[in-house]
Each structure stands twice: as structure tokens, then as C-alpha cells.
Structure 1
Amino acid sequence: MRTFALGAVIVMVFVALFGAGTAAAQDDMCYQKGGTFDAEQQRCVINTGIIIDIKYPLEAVQYPFVEQTVDEFLNGIRAEYVNSFANMDTTVWSPGPWGLNIDYEVFQFSPDVLSIKFNIGDYTGGAHGNLFFRTYTFDLTQERVLTLTDLFQPGADVLGTIAPIVQQSLATQLGDMADTQWIQDGTSTLDDYASFAVTPDAQVFYFPPYQVAAYAVGPQTVSIPLADLSGVLGPMFGAVQG
């Protein structure tokens, strides 16, 4: 009886491992063809196409120049994405349909200043999708998009002011996952701070995956209280806090 039982266990384990190995091989082969293996149907299913899901900030419609800026951005990124799909290499399929998903957040610093942050997720094949940001801070009175330096006094050392604060904050919030060189490389120029918004009490910076840490860590956000920057902010922002 013991011999029979042992033999049965060995056979069962062998079958399970063999089955798992076969399934893994099928998944891999199907993935290489741009599909997913349907175990129930025992078929490699290639499901391709494009899915676009865009949330539109209706707050923009109140201000024609804001609406125009938002429309140009959303129409442009949508057209670029569709064009990329139409011209993709059809010999290399992605496992599943392409996808573009855009959501947003709106921040009203004051009646004259409005920030819109777009969260953009896209998938064009591979192990995972991508995430990045596009932000706009509008001067509603002058009808213009503000750059980061526009928020500060003329001649202020913007990078020298915000970089140490951001780098220290990132190191703290990332903890054991922090890589000093990675953080330094992703925060060393003004271009690295292109994604920002102004809330009623803070200047907020957004960093997509890979900019300051590994993809697995996810996107990072750093908020600097406006009160901490009051000595270098321009009149539009410093006066409100002062």
C-alpha cells in the first residue's frame, strides 16, 4: 500500500508539473504572437484594437483661452496615439488592445490662478503600461500659461531653492527604496520640475515612474508649503501668503 501511495503521489506531481510547464509554454508562445492563451478553449486569442478614455475638465470651458489650450493638448495627444497605432509594426503584436486613459485634477489657487493636472496612462504592448503627467497653471487675468519661474521673483534661484527640498522629501518618503543618484539625476534641472500645480497652500511637483525611482515604486508627489517659499515667490503668490 505504501509503495502504491508513493507511486500515485509521484505520478500526480509529475502530471501537475508537466501541465504547468505546457501551460507556461503556451502562454509564452501566445504572448509572442500578441495574444493571450485561453485555457478553456485551448486557443491563442489575439485581441487587438485601441481604447481611448479621456475625462474632460469642464472647468476649462469658463475661460476661452484655457479651453483652447486644453483642447489643443487633448486633441493632439489623441491624434498622435491613433496615428502611432495605425503605423505600428504589425509583425510585433501587443498582448491585448492599446489603451490611452486620461484623467485630471483641478486646483484653484485664487480667482486669478488655476492649475490643471492631467494623468496620462497609455499601453502600447509590453509588460506594463506607462504613466506620465501634463500640467498647466493659468494666469486667468493675463490669459497666459505660467512657467515655473513665473511663480518666483525675478532673478530668484528657483532650482537652488526647490531642488534640496524636493530631494530630501523624496529620500524620506521613498525610505529603503530611495536611490540617491536616481533622485539626483531626476531632479537636477528645471525641466525635471515641469509637472507642477499650485494649490491654495502649496506648490506641488509630480514625478512619473522611472524619473526618481524604479517603476515598481510608482509615481511620486512632493508638496512644498507656499509659506516655506514666501521669501522668493512673486507678488501673485507671495502676497497671498504674506
Structure 2
Amino acid sequence: MNPALAPPSLLRRGLLCAALLLALAGCKRDPAPADAGSPAEPPVAATSPTAPEAETTELKDVIETTDRYIVGISYPPSANQYTGLAKVLGDYAAAARAELMEAVEAFGNDRPTAPYELSLAFEQVVNTPQIVAIAADGSRYTGGAHGQPLIARFVWLPQQDKRLTAAELVPEAEGWKAISDYVREQLHTAVATRADEDELTPAERAELVRNSARMIDGGTEPTAGNFSEFVPVLDAAGRISALRFVFPPYQVGPYADGTQTVVVPASVLLPHIAPEYAGLFAR
């Protein structure tokens, strides 16, 4: 009620109550200080919010079939041994699947004449306390004569909890020059041997060697990117005695030649390995 409209009796009664409350407040004594000997009230500890648990990735095999696409992805049990490695593998598989689904969705409500397909298998190559290596091989089909090869290799260092990349392993350009020279020699020799075995005519042999040399030299330019897929070869003591570099179709040869590999021994590698990783190699 607006005080200006209140009856006089009510207004006077309200003023008296207010005056009485002010008087009582003025007479109230300050509380006596706490006894020195009495224990003080323990302060209430501030509670901090619980930190969120680290996100984990558990890899599981995937089999999915529709009239528009087919997806098959498989993992070895060791893929879940290390959380960081599982995330790296899962991210690779997710990216491969995303590209497949992008092609599928481009059809809108239509469907491809044959189901698009993603086939990807992860396999354990090495598993020691110092080094774990996983190979990924498969293909993604989105039309055409054949699928796109999916070739990847993952080297994990459990004690450092990190993936070992080619660029970290061999940090200097001269190292890649030495590796490139060795790999090129092996690949050129393999082409010449195959030409001899196929008993080609001199003209056919010359054409094969010429075309192969162009692809080999282009795919083995001395950069870390051209040698990004590799797995270690271990000796009986668990040391790296060589690295097996993997080249997918089209990198150093035509699609018909498939995936090609070259094993480079530790004797070629060691002068160029970063010091922090030299201890992993046999001498």
C-alpha cells in the first residue's frame, strides 16, 4: 500500500514499530571475544570442481553395410594398449571414413551404381616396451576402375608417449639425400631385374626402364614427406637393425606394381639419425 494513502492510525502504528526496532538495535551488545583457550572454528575448505577425466579412445572393429556404402575397419588388440596411439589410429580411420561419406552424400537421394566402400585393416608389426609399430592397409572406392589405396604406418614410442615421425628421426637434408640415393638404387635394380625376367625386347626394356626411372626419381626426392611411411626391423635384442620404407601405388611405380618396400640398413641410417633416437638402433 502506498504510505501516502494509508489511514493515519496505521501510519502511526508503523512509525512506532520502526522506532522500537531501532532502539533495540542500539542496545544490542557486541559479542564477547572468543576465549583464547577455546578452539577456533575450523575454516570451511573451499571445494574445487572435480577435474574432468582424460578423454580415452577405445578402438572397436566396424562393419556397416547399406545399399549405398560398405565400411569395414579392423584393429589388433594391441591398438588399445596405449591411449595416445589409439587416438592416432582412430583419427586416421575417422578421416578415411569422412572422405567416403562425403562422396556418398554428394549423391543426395540417389545411390551409386555400386556401393562405395571403405576397407581398412590395422595390423601389429612390432610390439616391445620401447617400440610399437602398426601397419594400416586398405582402400577407399568411390567409383572408377579401382579404389584409392590407403597405406599408412605408425611407429609409437611408449616410453616417450609419442609417435615417431620421419622428420624427427632424420632431421637434416643430407640424411634424406643418403637415404634417397640408397632407395633409388634398390628400386632401379628391381626394375632391371624384372625386365630381364620378363624377357622383354630391347625396345620394351628401354621404355620400361625409362618410365620407371621417372616415377622412382620423382617419388624419392630427398624429403621426409616421401619417406613418411616406415616400420622398424628389429634384431634379436630388440634394436633397430633397419627401416622398411613403404611406398604406395603411384609413388614409385604404376598402380599395377602395388605397394613397394625398400629396407635400408642401420649402417646407412645411423650417421643421420637424431641423437635422441640413436640408442634405439643396433650398432
With structure 2 as the length reference, what TM-score do the two structures score? 0.61
Q: 1:68 to 1:238 in 2, by over 3 A?
A: same
Q: Aligned ranges for residues 181-200 of structure 1 at < 5 Å? A: 181-188=214-221, 189-200=223-234
Report how far residue 210 of structure 1 moved: 1.1
- Aligned partner of 1:127 in structure 2 is 145
Report how far residue 89 of structure 1 moved: 7.3
The one-letter code matched in structure 1 to 2:190 is: Q
8 Å Cα contact 2:100-2:116 kept in structure 1: no
Q: 1:51 to 1:239 in 2, by over 3 A?
A: closer
Secondary structure of the structure 2 residue equivalent to 1:230: helix
- Does 2:162 correspond to 1:144? yes
Q: 1:237 to 1:106 in 2, by over 3 A?
A: farther
Report how far residue 162 of structure 1 moved: 0.6
- Aligned partner of 1:66 in structure 2 is 85
Q: 1:217 aligns with which of 257, 261, 267?
A: 257
Q: 1:95 to 1:225 in 2, by over 3 A?
A: farther
The one-letter code matched in structure 2 to 1:122 is: R
CA–CA separation in structure 2 for the residues paired with 1:169 and 1:94? 42
CA–CA separation in structure 2 for the residues paired with 1:230 and 1:102? 33
Q: How many percent of aligned residue pairs carry the same amino acid?
A: 28
Secondary structure of the structure 2 residue equivalent to 1:221: strand
- Aligned partner of 1:28 in structure 2 is none
Structure 1 stretches of at least 4 aligned residues deviating more than 4 Å after TM superposition: none
Q: 1:117 to 1:98 in 2, by over 3 A?
A: same
Higher RCO (CA 8 Å, separation ≥ 6 residues)? 1
- Does 2:176 correspond to 1:159? yes
Secondary structure of the structure 2 residue equivalent to 1:108: strand
Secondary structure of the structure 1 residue equivalent to 2:271: coil
Aligned residues: 194
- Aligned partner of 1:241 in structure 2 is 282
Cα RMSD after superposing both structures: 2.5
With structure 1 as the length reference, what TM-score do the two structures score? 0.71
8 Å Cα contact 1:94-1:126 kept in structure 2: no
Report how far residue 224 of structure 1 moved: 1.1
Q: Aligned ranges for residues 113-124 of structure 1 at < 5 Å? A: 113-124=131-142
Q: 2:190 aligns with which of 151, 158, 173?
A: 173
- Does 2:100 correspond to 1:81? yes
The one-letter code matched in structure 1 to 2:179 is: I
Q: Flag structure 1 segments of 5+ consecutive residues without an equivalent.
A: 1-46
